[in-house]
Chains A and B, each alone.
Chain A
């Protein structure tokens, strides 16, 4: 990777008392990458994304985004990034248009531009037909689309998305994916966490896997696949290599994090 990374961390660590949630993570995300950040439950994905977006302080280590240190230039960094955090960060008692206009102005857009972009985004996300409806009355999927609209209203160079497709129907997911792919085509960088590995495999060019707070793999899908295949002895359990098929991301993920499934015998009381 020759170009200066858009996101880079060095020894990023976060402790909660005795628990080390994120342990010395070194991430490098190049400009224009659609980057998937994966890990089992409790691996440290959300903690990492919260630290990258300034929602959580790191215990040690450094974070650079667009060449700027997050701790010493938080405002400059935040101006250039968009975030859809775990809880979506919505203001329930505003209408969709009011909320987007508010977000735009908080990111420094003038009133007219914020209002114009808010209207365009509501139209694009198919949220414009009930302008008087309060955000609190939106369905979960609508709120997700609104959160995504809010994250992009100021035209960020880097977008952080924590489980953006959770609870979103297929139509809405299609709309969101096309918007994200459009952003990548225009040179933005997207950092995404998701448990839906099929989506990550389809969208992301590069992937990192975190397990028990440590970064255990990082690279393009092909690099990860080659690495796993090199380490796996011939005639392994899933049969993908034997049949000559490419390993899916799910298979790569399970091999890396060691997700051996327990036998049903252990829960023999289950009907």
Chain B
């Protein structure tokens, strides 16, 4: 068989493999539920994508027809950021095929490189990004039909650049994620980066309208710098052509193509190393001998059985060893800081929402504290992986295991809420007793409701997860949609209760509403807890099969 035919046959086999995996996934009820969820999510993405397409088409038409094609950079920068950031952030909505698994087959390096690019092209970010770029092409072509071939060439190069950058980022991330230690460091760095990102808005608000010459200079420099970066280059290439400055426009395109090649070289370096079979074993990074410790006695939880205490200790140890998870849990305090930074600007007397309604800062932070627990509560066995077999083989009742896990979640919630109270007191003044009481009552209603649904979904739609990794986790879309629904209901009820209470100028009303709701949600939690052993027993095969898969 010739090498071209051989390569074609391999690529067809891989496409067929992906298709069969998808079709075979539909055999189970859970697979069918996932398909329904995926259709809902795809419909939402399609709507968003069409929105982006419409904005891109309209705006680009306007810019070009007004002779301001260089403003296309305003559209291309968000596309670039979306294309690169979305795949990392939206782990629930992406497929995570491990293409390096294919290396055991006699693939040529060229085929492997192409497969990696093809996988990238199938990512939702690529589809949505491409749709927006197509919108720009359409807008430019309608405004100036003669620009079509040139814009097509420039925008295709820009799309290829985005695709190559995305795959390069993931190829290098894979390298760093291959070892637990580097994985955790990367997770922490990533979260710190995302947290810093949150500060941009408040900082901009803080300094806006303030006539400072250094900011004007900085803005000028940023404008110049962006012009030599890919989105700026693509915009410049089209703009120059629209002003009949073809040579300069061609130079910009050439520069963009060179950058694409340069990033492609980085991707090549990484993929070549993978192709040659690099060794990233953990053992090499481990010290040979450690000091022997004394006897390690487990924790005691007064009032709880040994099994509950043991599960609680295990959960806390797991979380304490997960840098990404720990950082996620401090988010509520950080968000308060973000909100607080906004209204410091004396030019903005109204400030942020919490500045105008400081009474809502504590309930807001507490609600956020509950929200960040979603990942843990709604997939509480995900981190146990193969350990789930031990739970079934052990003589402990399943409800003891679930109570141990919920106790951990509740402890985090209590700690976060207490810290939030202190932070709110520091930033906005101590919350009034009625606010504090209403917030705690709200949590008494919301936490058991979350735990109830979370416990059921943890058993009905489990997904294996790695606590050491941030992003690219395989998440059940059924769980994502269900948890989203529960959070919307809880937040809706919470907001309604506080709005009514504020209308009557008596926040104790909200407290009593929440207490009444807690009187329903707590017995509901206990009722489900009583039945959790039989539910877990019924679902043991699915749970074990899902969490023990390699």
A112 in the interface (beta carbon within 8 A): yes
CA distance A130 to B283 in the complex (A): 12
CA distance A101 to B293 in the complex (A): 14
Closest chain B residue to A101 by CB distance? B298
Chain B positions 392 through 405: 1 when the CB is less than 8 Å from some CB of chain A, otherwise 0: 11111100000000
A192 in the interface (beta carbon within 8 A): no
Which residues from chain A sit less than 8 Å from chain B, CB to CB?
53-57, 74-76, 78-79, 83, 85, 87-94, 97-98, 101-103, 105-112, 114-116, 118-119, 128-134, 136-137, 139, 150
Q: Is the CB–CB distance between A128 and B394 below 8 Å?
A: no
CA distance A44 to B318 in the complex (A): 35
Q: How far is the CB of B55 from the nearest CB of chain A, in Å?
A: 45
Q: How far is the CB of A144 from the nearest CB of chain B, in Å?
A: 13
B384 in the interface (beta carbon within 8 A): yes
Chain B positions 100 through 136: 1 when the CB is less than 8 Å from some CB of chain A, otherwise 0: 0000000000000000000000000000000000000
Closest chain B residue to A151 by CB distance? B393
Q: Is the CB–CB distance between A56 and B314 below 8 Å?
A: no
Q: Give the interface centre of A90, A92, A97, A98 by most chain B CB atoms within 10 Å.
A: A92
27 contacts between A and B (CB under 8 A): A53-B393, A55-B392, A56-B544, A83-B393, A85-B389, A87-B548, A88-B386, A89-B387, A89-B390, A90-B390, A91-B390, A92-B387, A93-B317, A93-B383, A94-B318, A103-B390, A103-B394, A106-B306, A106-B395, A108-B307, A110-B306, A111-B297, A111-B300, A115-B296, A115-B298, A128-B292, A137-B283
Nearest 5 A-B pairs (CB), nearest first? A89-B389, A105-B310, A89-B390, A78-B395, A79-B395
Q: Is the CB–CB distance between B318 and A93 below 8 Å?
A: yes
CA distance A133 to B289 in the complex (A): 10
Q: Is the CB–CB distance between B297 and A112 below 8 Å?
A: yes
CA distance A97 to B295 in the complex (A): 9
Q: Is the CB–CB distance between B289 and A55 below 8 Å?
A: no
Which residues on A sit within 8 Å (CB–CB) of B397? 75
Q: How far is the CB of B178 from the nearest CB of chain A, in Å?
A: 13
Which residues on B sit within 8 Å (CB–CB) of A133? 286, 290
Closest chain B residue to A77 by CB distance? B395
Identify B298's interface contact among A74, A105, A132, CB under 8 A.
A105
Q: Is the CB–CB distance between A94 and B392 below 8 Å?
A: no
Q: Is the CB–CB distance between A91 and B395 below 8 Å?
A: no
Chain B positions 254 through 286: 1 when the CB is less than 8 Å from some CB of chain A, otherwise 0: 000000000000000000000000000011001
Q: Is the CB–CB distance between B540 and A57 below 8 Å?
A: yes
Query: Given A89-B390, A105-B309, A106-B310, are A57 and B537 neighbors across the interface (CB < 8 Å)?
Result: yes
Closest chain A residue to B385 by CB distance? A92
Interface residues on B, range: 35 or more
Q: How far is the CB of A56 from the nearest CB of chain B, in Å?
A: 6
Query: Given A57-B540, A57-B541, are A101 and B296 neighbors across the interface (CB < 8 Å)?
Result: yes
CA distance A106 to B467 in the complex (A): 22
Closest chain A residue to B400 by CB distance? A106
CA distance A132 to B313 in the complex (A): 16
Q: Is the CB–CB distance between B322 and A102 below 8 Å?
A: no
Closest chain A residue to B467 by CB distance? A93
Which residues on A sit within 8 Å (CB–CB) of B385? 92
Q: How far is the CB of B20 from the nearest CB of chain A, in Å?
A: 19
Identify A91's interface contact among B283, B289, B306, B384, CB under 8 A.
B384
B432 in the interface (beta carbon within 8 A): no
B180 in the interface (beta carbon within 8 A): yes
Q: How far is the CB of A121 from the nearest CB of chain B, in Å?
A: 13
Which residues from chain B sit less than 8 Å from chain A, CB to CB?
180, 282-283, 286-287, 289-293, 295-300, 306-307, 309-311, 313-314, 317-318, 321-322, 383-390, 392-397, 467-468, 537, 540-541, 544, 548
Q: How far is the CB of A123 from the nearest CB of chain B, in Å?
A: 9
Query: Given A55-B389, A93-B467, are A134 and B321 neighbors across the interface (CB < 8 Å)?
Result: yes
Q: How far is the CB of B339 from the nearest CB of chain A, in Å?
A: 34
Q: Is the CB–CB distance between B297 and A102 below 8 Å?
A: no
Q: Is the CB–CB distance between A105 and B306 below 8 Å?
A: yes
Which residues on B sit within 8 Å (CB–CB) of A108? 306-307, 395
Which residues on A sit within 8 Å (CB–CB) of B468? 93
Q: How far is the CB of A6 from the nearest CB of chain B, in Å?
A: 17
Q: Is the CB–CB distance between B295 and A98 below 8 Å?
A: no
Q: Is the CB–CB distance between A90 and B392 below 8 Å?
A: no
Q: Is the CB–CB distance between A107 and B296 below 8 Å?
A: no
Closest chain B residue to A160 by CB distance? B393
Which residues on B sit within 8 Å (CB–CB) of A111? 297-300, 306
Q: Is the CB–CB distance between B297 and A107 below 8 Å?
A: no
Which residues on B sit within 8 Å (CB–CB) of A74? 395
Query: Given A92-B385, A93-B318, A107-B395, are A102 and B292 neighbors across the interface (CB < 8 Å)?
Result: no
Which residues on B sit within 8 Å (CB–CB) of A98? 296, 313-314, 317
Q: Is the CB–CB distance between B310 and A102 below 8 Å?
A: yes
Which residues on B sit within 8 Å (CB–CB) of A132? 290, 293
Q: How far is the CB of B522 from the nearest CB of chain A, in Å?
A: 27
Query: Given A78-B394, A102-B310, A103-B390, are A114 and B298 neighbors across the interface (CB < 8 Å)?
Result: yes
CA distance A186 to B385 in the complex (A): 34
Q: How far is the CB of A12 from the nearest CB of chain B, in Å?
A: 16
Q: Is the CB–CB distance between B297 and A131 below 8 Å?
A: no
CA distance A87 to B384 in the complex (A): 12
Q: How far is the CB of A52 from the nearest CB of chain B, in Å?
A: 10
Which residues on A sit within 8 Å (CB–CB) of B313? 98, 102
Which residues on A sit within 8 Å (CB–CB) of B388? 89
Q: Is the CB–CB distance between B286 and A107 below 8 Å?
A: no
Q: Is the CB–CB distance between B314 and A91 below 8 Å?
A: yes
CA distance A103 to B395 in the complex (A): 10
Q: Is the CB–CB distance between B314 and A102 below 8 Å?
A: yes
Q: Give the interface centre of B313, B393, B548 by most chain A CB atoms within 10 Å.
A: B393
Closest chain B residue to A114 by CB distance? B298
Which residues on A sit within 8 Å (CB–CB) of B467? 93
Q: How far is the CB of A142 from the nearest CB of chain B, in Å?
A: 11
Other CB < 8 Å A-B pairs besides A91-B390, A102-B298, A105-B298, 19 of them? Answer: A56-B544, A75-B397, A76-B395, A78-B393, A78-B394, A91-B314, A92-B387, A93-B468, A97-B296, A101-B297, A103-B390, A105-B309, A106-B311, A111-B300, A115-B296, A115-B297, A119-B295, A130-B290, A137-B283
Q: How far is the CB of A154 from the nearest CB of chain B, in Å?
A: 9
Which residues on A sit within 8 Å (CB–CB) of B306? 105-106, 108-111
Which residues on A sit within 8 Å (CB–CB) of B386? 87-90
CA distance A55 to B540 in the complex (A): 7
CA distance A182 to B543 in the complex (A): 35
Closest chain B residue to A76 by CB distance? B395
Q: How far is the CB of A63 from the nearest CB of chain B, in Å?
A: 14
Which residues on A sit within 8 Å (CB–CB) of B314? 91, 94, 98, 102
CA distance A98 to B383 in the complex (A): 16
Q: Is the CB–CB distance between B286 and A55 below 8 Å?
A: no
CA distance A55 to B547 in the complex (A): 13
Identify B283's interface contact among A54, A103, A109, A139, CB under 8 A.
A139
Closest chain A residue to B300 by CB distance? A111
Q: Is the CB–CB distance between A118 and B296 below 8 Å?
A: yes
Query: Given A53-B393, A83-B393, A89-B386, are A106 and B295 neighbors across the interface (CB < 8 Å)?
Result: no
Q: Is the CB–CB distance between B289 and A129 below 8 Å?
A: yes
Which residues on A sit within 8 Å (CB–CB) of B289? 129-130
Q: Is the CB–CB distance between B296 and A129 below 8 Å?
A: no
CA distance A266 to B384 in the complex (A): 46
